[in-house]
Amino acid sequence: MSKRPSNSNFYGQSKKFRSSASSASSVQVTANERKVDDSYFSNTPSDTEAALLYLKSKFPIEKFEGRLPPVLLVHQIYSVIKCKTLVDRDVNSLQAKGVVRLFKLGGEETALVVVYSDELVNHIIQHCPTKPVINRFLKELIPKVQDVSIDKTLLQELGFTQQEMSDLVRAGLLTLRSTASFWFSFPNAGEFMRTYLKGRKSVLRTIRKCKFSEILQFELEQRKLEKSAKLGMLYHIHDMIGAELVKCIETTSGTLLRLTKK
């Protein structure tokens, strides 16, 4: 007859097995935790994305009664994040992923603006006529061309006729850049630029009237703007800081904004 294993060996093996199982379970839990951690950090917005969301929350969309989506200025992000290289890299990455869309709007001075892609599409659908060319613009052109402008030759290569280009111009989706190219745009972009420039001039005029052309930021935030300046004081403060029209000086009383050009 074979000998029965001793209790010490039997329980020793059993304990060893349980220990191995426990170790494997521990490894499994650790791996799962790592997956959760990786997922968490991959879904955590970058500083630039967080800044964009903050600035978007300050856009007074209700004052435009649906005529505009939240429109942000790229240089406004510089007022929140000081590293311009980081901001530019992140914004380009967000555009490459299709999260946002950049536009270069003209006027008295050009402005590089950013609009969230989903809000842009909804805005276009709401304000543009229901035509096949509009659907093609949204489904074929926007995803393929991420630049702020486009050449007529490329439009022709993509199958857009001269009449369809004219339709896109009338819809506010293209504006003439030169005889051979267009800027991308969106409906009522002109209203945004007019409001933006009026508001900026109003705020600059307010600061210029102050002694030494400087004012504490919290005091400026309390000042009232003209009714035509719908974007609000805080929007323009971020605009002026990011565009370096004012210099920020930390004082015991708070941040002092001083005009860089008087």
Report pLDDT for 225.
86
Q: What does the alpha-carbon distance between residue 227 and residue 28 come to, in Å, rounded to a whole number?
A: 62
- pLDDT at residue number 30: 52
pLDDT in tens, 231-247: 999 999 999 999 999 99
Contact residues for 112 (Cβ-Cβ < 8 A; gap 6+): 73, 74, 75, 102, 103, 104, 148
d(C-alpha 198, C-alpha 192), whole Å: 10
Q: What is the pLDDT of residue 154?
A: 95
What global pTM score does this model have?
0.80
The answer to whether 58 touches 234, Cβ cutoff 8 Å, is yes
> What confidence score (pLDDT) does residue 107 get?
52
Question: What are the residue ranges in the chain where pLDDT is below 70?
Answer: 1-44, 107-109, 262
Give the CA-trace dihedral at 87, 93, 96, 101, to 10 degrees. -30
